[in-house]
């Protein structure tokens, strides 16, 4: 009888050249310039990035010090309003930490632009509140979104847009009003004024294109990329040779998953950068590398893995040259390119290549962590977890255990400093370590790891059930398999049934996502009941699983046929054991028919 394999958990996704790159030299270069990370300004407003249990809160604002100009009342009021948004979005503690970090980046940019003048800062903070609320909505829709990276892009984009808006293109008074509105961070007001200005359709084509581009940039600053696309499309149609316009348009299309539209624009940009780099390599090689990296992501989205690999490998080659010249600036890009390749190789079942890529990314992360441990220690732990999964899949069990153990050491230290941020990652590694120990029949160690993971996940699910109940069910399923393997049928049944109860509730909300898990758990229960002398319960479980697989197969006839065949095979065995040969033979034939259709052995 067959059960589904254990659930291995990876993170959501981060060239290997034909020649082995001498990473030892890279590590020495990256580690050699060890300096302390830049300290935050003593006047920067800050939300706590650790104490989020009861919501966002202001942390040690030095507003009382002279010349800071931080409007304490406005900041406190804004935090109160943000907590309403956080509560409405039902964010988990880890997501609150992510939101606080992103908000701090944006608030720091606002504080710097307002030059410490309290009246200006007060107005700016009031205008920025809605933007941070939109970030809260975004993380609810995209739980794996990197809000801090989004916030950093936001700060760079705002500074660039403010500079562009300061350039007078006509005598229309709306231009000055737009600039002043942007200075106050009133992006909604700036959007309305620029819409009025565009309606006048004044000036040359180049001027109109520049205004369309700025309108698109404002929409990106408002975190409404879907509204930015029409403006950027119009700007690009008018000025396709403008590199800034082409980059903003292709990036926005890529982020909106419009890969087919983004791909030719990136290819055009790449050709132009290659020509420009012949005269000014230092200025344009970084842009070539960035565009190749973007093309790789586009090809992944288009399911063209060979082209994605070529693009990523070429990007890595450029980043490696740049990192030799400036390791601190481009070392992270080297690690990210290796990470992208690791994900690509993993997803195309090139597991050894994936492990090699992750291993080299790990070396770079270790060097970066030597300089900035707070930023890169979490990355080291994540890459180690991914390596553990790959080592386990390629039967390098000792290496897998070592990777998981090192990841745990790092994550446990991180959790002591900031449990809200790092408990989910710790639970994931514990679950995977449990899977490794189960696979190597180290059952006491596996049970200990699973139990620890389950305890954390149940705590997380009490805080944010929508986000963490699936994780609880996965660990329960793994525990059920362990208890069955160690002949503890009552505990196995309880674990499977608890998981099944969760999956049934989740399947009511999103059937296509969780009905497969419900069916697999029913199959596992059927195996358990069959082996523990409960044939009627086993038959019921198998038949319910088959009903679900047949429902799923209506929408996707291929994806679930092997699962359905497996359950039919289990049912056939049960029917033979209970002296029902004709029904057993029919179930076996149905299973053979399904496997023959899929070409499986």
List, for residues 12-40, the tens digit of each pLDDT value.
Answer: 444 333 334 444 444 444 454 443 334 34
Cβ partners under 8 Å of residue 177, min gap 6: 193
Which residue has 């737009």 as its token pair? 178
- Asked if residues 460 and 441 have their Cβ atoms less than 8 Å apart, the reply is no
Q: Give a yes or no: residue 395 inside a domain.
A: no
Across 25-34, 115-124, 159-168, 276-285, least confident range: 25-34
**Which residue in the block uniquely carries the two structure tokens 């698109």?**
216
Residues 293 and 336: their CA atoms lie apart, in Å, by 9
Contact present, 479 and 450 (Cβ < 8 Å): yes
Angle of helix 465-485 relative to helix 419-439, nearest 10 degrees, comes to 20
Residue 344 lies inside a defined structural domain of this protein:
no
> Is the residue at 321 inside a domain?
no
Q: Residue 595 belongs to a domain with what CATH number?
A: 1.25.40.10
User: b/e string for 400-414 if b means 16 or more Cβ within 10 A?
Assistant: bbebbebbbebbeeb
Cβ atoms of residues 246 and 269 within 8 Å: yes
Residue-level pLDDT at 280: 95
Considering its fold, how many domains does the chain have in total?
2
Question: How many other C-beta atoms lie within 10 A of the C-beta of residue 581?
Answer: 11
Q: How confident is the model at residue 110 (pLDDT cuts 50, 70, 90)?
A: confident
Q: Is residue 158, in this structure, part of any structural domain at all? A: no
**Separation CA 473–CA 468 (nearest Å):** 9
Look at residue 487 and tell me whether its pLDDT is greater than 90. Answer: yes
- Alpha carbons within 13 A on the beta-carbon side of 418: 19
Contact 269, 247 (CB under 8 A): yes
- Give the whole-angstrom CA distance, residue 248 versus residue 294: 12
Residue 247 lies in a domain: no
Q: Which of 92, 126, 152 is the last residue of a domain?
A: 152
pLDDT on residue 25: 46
Q: How far apart are CA 333 and CA 376, in angstroms?
A: 13
What's the predicted TM-score (pTM) here? 0.86
Q: Can you list the alpha helix ranges (DSSP code H) found in 534-601? A: 535-555, 561-577, 581-598
Per residue in 221-240, pLDDT tens?
999 999 999 999 999 999 99
What is the torsion angle, in degrees rounded to the nearest 10, for the CA atoms of residue 66, residue 68, residue 73 and residue 75?
-160
DSSP 422: H
Q: What is the pLDDT of residue 64?
A: 43
Largest Cα–Cα distance in the chain? Answer: 93
Tell me if 229 is assigned to some domain.
no
- What are residue 45's phi and psi, to 5 degrees? -65, 145
What lies within 8 Å, CB to CB, of 183 at 6+ separation is 113, 162
Nearest-angstrom CA–CA distance, 419 and 397:
29
Gap between the Cα atoms of 238 and 305, Å rounded: 33
Q: What are the structure tokens assigned to 61, written together?
A: 């604002």
With b for 16 or more beta-carbon neighbours within 10 A and e for fewer, the 182-195 pattern comes to bbbbbbebbbebbe
Would you say 484 and 438 are in contact if contact means Cβ atoms under 8 Å apart?
Answer: no
Residue pLDDT, tens place only, 318-367: 999 999 999 989 999 999 999 999 999 999 999 999 999 999 999 999 99
Domain boundary among 137, 152, 167: 152
Phi, psi of 47 (to 5 degrees): -90, 145
What is the DSSP code (8-state) at residue 47? B
Mean pLDDT throughout 244-264?
96
**Strand intervals (E) in 344-408:** none
Compute the distance between CA of residue 29 and CA of residue 277 in angstroms, rounded to an integer: 25
Q: Using the 8-state DSSP alphabet, how is residue 205 labeled?
A: H
Over the stretch 406-419, which tens digit does the pLDDT of each residue have?
A: 999 999 999 999 99
More confident residue, 121 or 20: 121
| Residue 26 maps to a domain | no
Residue 239: CB atoms within 10 A of its CB come to: 19
pLDDT on residue 16: 39
Count of CB atoms situated within 10 Å of the CB of 376? 21
- Is residue 101 domain-resident? yes
User: Which residue from 499, 530, 382, 510 is spatially nearest to 7, judged by alpha carbons?
Assistant: 499
C-alpha–C-alpha distance, residues 293 and 337, integer Å:
7
Element (H, E) at 19: none
For residue 601, what pLDDT band results from cuts at 50, 70 and 90? very low
Give the Cα separation of 398 and 382 in Å (integer). 18
Instruction: Tokens 């290819």: give the residue.
Output: 267
Counting other chains too, the contacts that 573-579 makes at CB distance below 8 Å and 24 or more residues apart are 573/1, 573/530, 574/526, 574/530, 574/535, 574/538, 574/539, 574/542, 575/539, 577/530, 577/535, 578/535
What's the pLDDT tens digit per position in 277-292? Answer: 999 999 999 999 999 9
Interatomic CA distance for residues 300 and 340, integer angstroms: 10
d(CA 487, CA 484): 5
Q: How far is CA 267 from CA 159, 286, 289, 323, in A?
A: 27, 15, 12, 24
Q: Count CB atoms within 10 A of the CB of residue 43.
A: 18
Which of 131, 152, 173 is the last residue before a domain boundary?
152
Most confident of 88-102, 244-258, 558-572: 244-258
**Could you list the residue range(s) of the whole structural domain that residue 595 is in?**
515-601
Residue pair 269/250 in contact (Cβ under 8 Å)? The answer is: yes
pLDDT in tens, 508-522: 999 989 999 999 999
Please answer whether residues 120 and 72 qualify as being in contact, where contact means their C-beta atoms are separated by less than 8 angstroms: no
């Amino acid at each position: 009888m067959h059960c589904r394999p254990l659930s291995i958990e990876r993170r959501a996704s981060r060239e290997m050249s034909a020649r082995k790159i001498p990473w030892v030299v890279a590590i020495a270069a990256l580690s050699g310039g060890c300096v302390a990370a830049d300290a935050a300004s003593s006047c920067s407003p800050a939300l706590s990035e650790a104490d989020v249990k009861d919501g966002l809160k202001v942390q040690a604002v030095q507003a009382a010090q002279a010349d800071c100009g931080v409007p304490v009342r406005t900041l406190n009021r804004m935090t109160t309003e943000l907590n309403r948004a956080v509560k409405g979005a039902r964010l988990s503690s880890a997501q609150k930490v992510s939101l606080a970090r992103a908000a701090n980046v944006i608030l720091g940019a606002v504080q710097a632009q307002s030059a410490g003048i309290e009246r200006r800062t007060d107005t700016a903070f009031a205008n920025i509140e809605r933007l941070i609320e939109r970030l809260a909505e975004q993380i609810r829709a995209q739980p794996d979104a990197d809000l801090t990276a989004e916030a950093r892009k936001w700060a760079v984009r705002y500074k660039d847009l403010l500079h562009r808006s300061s350039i007078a293109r006509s005598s229309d008074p709306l231009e000055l009003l737009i600039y002043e509105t942007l200075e106050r961070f009133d992006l909604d007001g700036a959007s309305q004024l620029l819409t009025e200005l565009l309606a006048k359709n004044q000036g040359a084509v180049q001027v109109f294109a520049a205004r369309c581009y700025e309108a698109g940039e404002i929409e990106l600053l408002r975190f409404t990329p879907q509204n930015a696309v029409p403006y950027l499309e119009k700007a690009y149609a008018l000025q396709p040779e403008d590199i800034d316009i082409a980059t903003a348009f292709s990036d926005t299309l890529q982020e909106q998953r419009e890969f087919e539209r983004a791909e030719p624009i990136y290819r055009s940009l790449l050709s132009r950068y290659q020509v420009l780099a012949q005269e000014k390599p230092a200025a344009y090689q970084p842009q070539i590398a960035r565009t190749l990296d973007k093309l790789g992501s586009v090809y992944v989205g288009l399911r063209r893995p060979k082209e994605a690999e070529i693009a990523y490998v070429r990007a890595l080659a450029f980043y490696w040259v740049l990192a030799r010249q400036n390791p601190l600036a481009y070392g992270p890009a080297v690690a990210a390119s290796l990470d992208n390749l690791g994900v690509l190789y993993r997803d195309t079942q090139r597991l050894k290549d994936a492990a090699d890529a992750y291993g080299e990314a790990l070396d770079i992360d270790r060097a970066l962590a030597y300089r900035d441990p707070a930023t890169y220690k979490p990355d080291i732990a994540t890459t180690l977890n991914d390596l553990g999964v790959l080592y386990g899949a390629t039967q390098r069990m000792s290496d897998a255990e070592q990777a998981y153990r090192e990841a745990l050491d790092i994550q446990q230290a991180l959790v002591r400093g900031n449990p809200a941020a790092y408990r989910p990652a710790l639970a994931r590694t514990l679950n995977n370590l449990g899977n490794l120990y189960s696979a190597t029949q180290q059952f006491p160690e596996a049970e200990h790891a699973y139990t620890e993971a389950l305890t954390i996940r149940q705590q997380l699910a009490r805080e944010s059930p929508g986000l963490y109940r699936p994780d609880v069910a996965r660990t329960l399923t793994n525990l059920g398999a362990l208890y069955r393997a160690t002949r503890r049928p009552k505990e196995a049944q309880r674990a499977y049934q608890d998981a099944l109860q969760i999956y049934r509730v989740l399947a009511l909300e999103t059937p296509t996502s969780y009905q497969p898990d419900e069916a697999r758990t029913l199959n596992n229960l059927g195996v358990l009941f069959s082996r523990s002398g409960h044939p009627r319960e086993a038959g019921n479980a198998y038949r319910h699983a088959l009903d679900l697989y047949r429902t799923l197969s209506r929408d996707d006839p291929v994806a679930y046929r092997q699962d359905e065949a497996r359950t039919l095979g289990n049912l056939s065995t049960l029917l033979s054991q209970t002296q029902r040969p004709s029904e057993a033979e029919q179930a076996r034939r149905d299973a053979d028919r399904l496997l023959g259709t899929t070409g499986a052995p």
